[in-house]
Amino acid sequence: MSEGWIRVLADDERTRDGARLRVAEATARKARLVASHAQQLLDDLHTAVVRDIEAFRSEFPGDAARAILFEPVQPDGGFVVRKPECPTASLSVTPHLAAASVSCRYRFTATGGLPPREDRVEFVLAGDGGDDTLHIKDRDTGHVFTNADALSEFLLVPVLTGRPR
């Protein structure tokens, strides 16, 4: 009679051990995925942002109000995008590869002497669970960006327009 509860307890512990093992394996898989693909994903984002800024500039040649500056920040792969003319706007992108995340900070300065407005967006680097593809996911909304082009558009629209989202 007393062995019954021990057997049930042992089965429960085996179930918990299995769950912990699955979590540990998933964590290790994500770490390998981030280590092997995160820098390429950031490089692709860098390329897409530079391309999109150049395309925007070419739509408004000579228009100083729509001049957009790109500043790479080395060595972590982060960068800053600035719209220096009023309404000024900037975007700072800071990767945290050890934490598998990317922080983005917007700063908007409107006309009329109003104080600057700051907005933040946090992204996590996530695998899709199937293959070895790394994506960027908005931590707050859960929206997944499957490629650098989609993320570039999301990040740049507020800076290019000078208006917060």
Task: Provide the residue ranges of all domains of the chain, joining segments of one domain with +.
Answer: 36-161
Q: Select the more confidently predicted residue: 111 or 165.
A: 165
At 115 the pLDDT is 85
pLDDT at 165: 83
How would residue 12 be classed by pLDDT, with cut points 50, 70 and 90?
very high
Share of the chain above pLDDT 70, in %: 92
Distance CA 147, CA 58 (A): 23
Separation between Cα atoms, residue 160 and residue 83, nearest integer Å: 7
Mean pLDDT across 75-90 = 88
23 falls in which pLDDT band (50, 70, 90)?
A: confident
* Mean pLDDT across the chain: 87
pLDDT above 90: residue 18 = yes
Q: Most confidently modeled of 30-34, 86-90, 101-105, 134-138?
A: 101-105
- Cα–Cα distances in angstroms (integers) from residue 117 to residues 32, 75, 79, 94, in the given order: 37, 28, 20, 19
Question: In the prediction, which pLDDT does 121 show?
Answer: 95
Q: Based on the number of CB atoms within 10 Å of its own CB, is 133 exposed (0-12), middle (13-18) or buried (19 or more)?
A: middle
- Higher-pLDDT residue of 24 and 107 is 107
pLDDT value at position 64? Answer: 85
